[in-house]
Structure 1
Amino acid sequence: MKRFILFFACLTSISLVAAQEVLNWKDNEIVSPIVNADNTLTISLFAPDAKKVELTGNFLYAGKDTSDKYADGDWSPQLMNKDETGRWTLTTAPLKPEFYSYNLIVDGVKITDPKNIYTVRDIGNTYSVALVGGGVDGLYAVKNVPHGTVRKVWYDSPTAGIKRRMTVYTPAGYETSNRRYPVLYLLHGMGGDENAWEELGRATQILDNLIAEGKAEPMVVVMPNGNISQEAAPGEGSSGLVTAALRYPKTMDGNFEKAFPDIIQFVEKAYRVKKDKANRAVAGLSMGGFHSIYIALNNPDAFDYIGLFSAAFSQMSKDGDRLSPIYQNIDEKFKTLCKKSPKLIWIGIGKDDFLSQDDEKLRAALDKESYKYVYLKTKGGHTWRNWREYLTIFAQKIFKH
């Protein structure tokens, strides 16, 4: 009897191991995502015990230009199909070239694609990503062109009272030349950090490709952390592996703008850059657009090029119990800035952006001074899809002396 029980136990163990090997084999044979020749995207997951698997991503309505659901953020989940082996699959409609993000929802739990090693973090959320067609005009792909260098740089900010980190891009050839370069200060939105434009905005690839094609001037691009109470991105400062947040202390209360000269001073000391108004640009998205316009208004002799992408123009908060002087006497500051005749103020926003009223107020202030800015309204809303496009356009227009 004992021998029979032992034999049965051994047989059961062998069966379980064999079954596990079959499951592992079925899992290992899955590739996801697959970018197909017709620009469709196939997402797959091996989950034989799951009762429901859905796909959510910013490509679900990407082909419907006239749809109200074109904007990122309206990602109604779509049910994936399960076959007899336990594999769930969904193939999208043909997609426009773009940098797409998505998640899987397994029995109500949102996860990244376990077969896709490429992910991005946007505030406190993590997404799997896929690049279709090299992105818009192929500019989001790494191509066989001369490449710039990206560094994570720490600098001292006496105004903020801490050492802080920023991302700095230097163009191809910087290390081997004696040339001095113009500088673009490129600012992220609320909840972002010094990694946002590099990781979500594909700024490195965009600049490499535009410069290589002769469409943009070689430039240094400085991407600081716009959360003035932070040393660096979550998990990359001395506070350790903290949770990412949408809003941090001292957000849009004037303290970042007051400390911004610390960044310029560091850059102009540490890098071979030109140090005059004609060779400085400042641009940003959402909160970064807010920072950009108020930095320019309070430093009217500093920048000849100003880029405002979905700018949160009216979203200032109080510093303690009062409004910062940074945000006071705005009419006079617009008058002074416009009299200084910056070469370009470029404004872009999506037609469905929730900051449309801020956009109208910003343009009204410039219209009052009869300043001829450049304005672009695109499809979609408050999205990285738009902001990557705006950077691409703006970068081709600056430093054209």
Structure 2
Amino acid sequence: MNNIRLIVLGYLAMIYGQACFSQMVKDDFKSSETTQSGRKFPQVNSEGRVRAGILAPEAQSVKLDIGGKKYDLKRNADGFWTGDSEPQDEGFHYYQLNIDGASVPDPGSLYFYGAGRWGSAIEIPAHDRAFYELKQVPHGQVREQLYFSNLTNTWRRCFIYTPAGYDNNTTKRYPVLYLQHGSGENETGWPVQGKANLILDNLIAEKKAVPMIIVMDNGYATLSGDNKPFNPTPTGPFPFEQVLIKEVIPMIDKSYKTIANKYNRAMAGLSMGANQTMQIVIKNLDQFSYLGAFSGTANYPKYDPIDVPTFMNGAFKDAHSLNRQLKLLWLGAGTKEPVPFPASIAAFKSMLDQTGVKYQYYTSEGTAHEWLTWRRCLNQFASLLFK
């Protein structure tokens, strides 16, 4: 009798819990800006919950995989599966569906290149999204630049942002920011997920940033005859550094109206791109005056105290010289960055403090290793350039 009573009480608790959950979830779901035109799902509500839906009548199990957790979807009589996630952080998130054990993109979502593949993503509206929204301001252009790399013996591609009015004034010349993506992403990251063009359009329209050109290239490169792509070392060059310095910068200075000197050239990147940026700028101080590292440093993933005389071949041991050559060394990261990023960045900052190298540090509140962090970083960093 006691066992039966416990079973009944457990069942009633489960039903009550489900009812309470249903009542707690706000039913104000709307299509996301990443939902394909004409599709109903994916959706997001005011709590940041994601609702996925897919027709899969032959499937036995469908799950929504987002934020490191899988959520079971429920099937209706027509074979249409739907289900909700827990509230997600503000910003842009990659996700996928898991159908009978196979992870696949959501056919209702636009596709983005991230995590080494084309896949689904959803935008959770951020409270401060105004700085990267499409507004009634003069807009620049994002141009696709194809070029043949003799170093890699392949055709490559970069995207070029030119500010509003670039084509109208034939005599005006512009400074350049070279902006790099992160691991598992490519040259589409910043102009698509990062909304770099909209961020600069808005900054320039508000007179918070100097009109500039932005070059967004693919950070992965393999030299002809080599089988080792991006592999930075403290002392020697790596493939993308050679492509950028020997091929991309000369091409941009020849093809675009740039101010072709180090004082009007900056470089920044996120995560892997931050590592690349530090390696390239510090070893090519005759080419750059501004360095921006978003969610990454050259010592990643190590977080032990940095040995200044040996780190990057002693590049940071002469603070006076470095401070004179760099107009700005800028670091930024989210408050929810995963291990080991916080410790690695802290070790790098400690080294800068120890040596007396000047820098600025920005904290993105409530964000992790994700695009909202990096959009905010670009917004802050770009406003300080070339002034």
Q: How does the TM-score come out when normalised to structure 2?
A: 0.74
2:262/2:287 contact within 8 Å kept: yes
**Of 352-361 and 132-141, the range deviating more from structure 2:** 132-141
1:252/1:287 contact within 8 Å kept: no
Change (3 A) 1:49 1:258: closer
Q: Give matches, 1:192-341, under 5 Å.
A: 192-229=185-222, 248-253=228-233, 254-255=237-238, 256-262=240-246, 263-314=248-299, 327-332=312-317, 336-340=321-325
2:266/2:288 contact within 8 Å kept: yes
1:335/1:369 contact within 8 Å kept: no
2:219/2:230 contact within 8 Å kept: no
1:157: how far off?
5.0
For the residue of structure 2 that corresponds to 1:146, the secondary structure is coil
1:166: how far off?
1.8
Matched, 1:364 2:364: no
Change (3 A) 1:173 1:248: farther
Match of 1:13 in 2: none
For the residue of structure 1 that corresponds to 2:346, the secondary structure is helix
Deviations along 1:260-295, whole A, 9 cap, x unmatched? 322222212211112233322110112211121222
Change (3 A) 1:76 1:39: closer
Match of 1:346 in 2: 330
1:393: how far off?
1.9
The one-letter amino acid of 1:174's match is Y
1:170: how far off?
0.9
Match of 1:52 in 2: 61
For the residue of structure 2 that corresponds to 1:49, the secondary structure is coil
1:332: how far off?
4.6
1:353/1:381 contact within 8 Å kept: no
Change (3 A) 1:208 1:334: same
The one-letter amino acid of 1:392's match is N
Unaligned runs of 5+ in 2: 1-37, 302-309
1:313/1:359 contact within 8 Å kept: no
Matched, 1:34 2:10: no
Deviations along 1:168-224, whole A, 9 cap, x unmatched? 111121111232111111112233332222233222332233333433322100112
1:334/1:365 contact within 8 Å kept: no
For the residue of structure 2 that corresponds to 1:328, the secondary structure is helix
For the residue of structure 1 that corresponds to 2:288, the secondary structure is coil
Deviations along 1:309-339, whole A, 9 cap, x unmatched? 12241369xxxxxxxx994233456653223
Match of 1:129 in 2: 121
For the residue of structure 2 that corresponds to 1:77, the secondary structure is strand
**Which of 372, 377, 384 matches 1:385?**
372
Cα distance in structure 2, aligned partners of 1:216 and 1:387: 17
1:148/1:208 contact within 8 Å kept: yes
Cα distance in structure 1, aligned partners of 2:286 and 2:329: 14
1:37: how far off?
6.5
Cα distance in structure 2, aligned partners of 1:354 and 1:292: 19
1:284/1:309 contact within 8 Å kept: yes
Change (3 A) 1:365 1:264: farther
Change (3 A) 1:225 1:101: closer
Change (3 A) 1:144 1:97: farther
Deviations along 1:325-376, whole A, 9 cap, x unmatched? 9942334566532232x33211112443423343234223322331331113
Aligned length: 331
Change (3 A) 1:352 1:82: same
Match of 1:172 in 2: 164
Cα distance in structure 2, aligned partners of 1:164 and 1:87: 42
Percent of counterpart pairs with the same letter? 34
Match of 2:3 in 1: none
Cα distance in structure 2, aligned partners of 1:381 and 1:213: 28
**Of 120-129 and 327-336, the range deviating more from structure 2:** 327-336
2:162/2:213 contact within 8 Å kept: yes
**Which of 77, 102, 112 matches 2:105?**
112
Change (3 A) 1:130 1:142: farther
Matched, 1:376 2:365: no
Cα distance in structure 2, aligned partners of 1:381 and 1:131: 15
Deviations along 1:11-59, whole A, 9 cap, x unmatched? xxxxxxxxxxxxxxxxxx972123457765432112233222111224x
1:53/1:79 contact within 8 Å kept: yes
Cα distance in structure 2, aligned partners of 1:218 and 1:97: 29
Unaligned runs of 5+ in 1: 1-28, 59-74, 232-246, 317-324
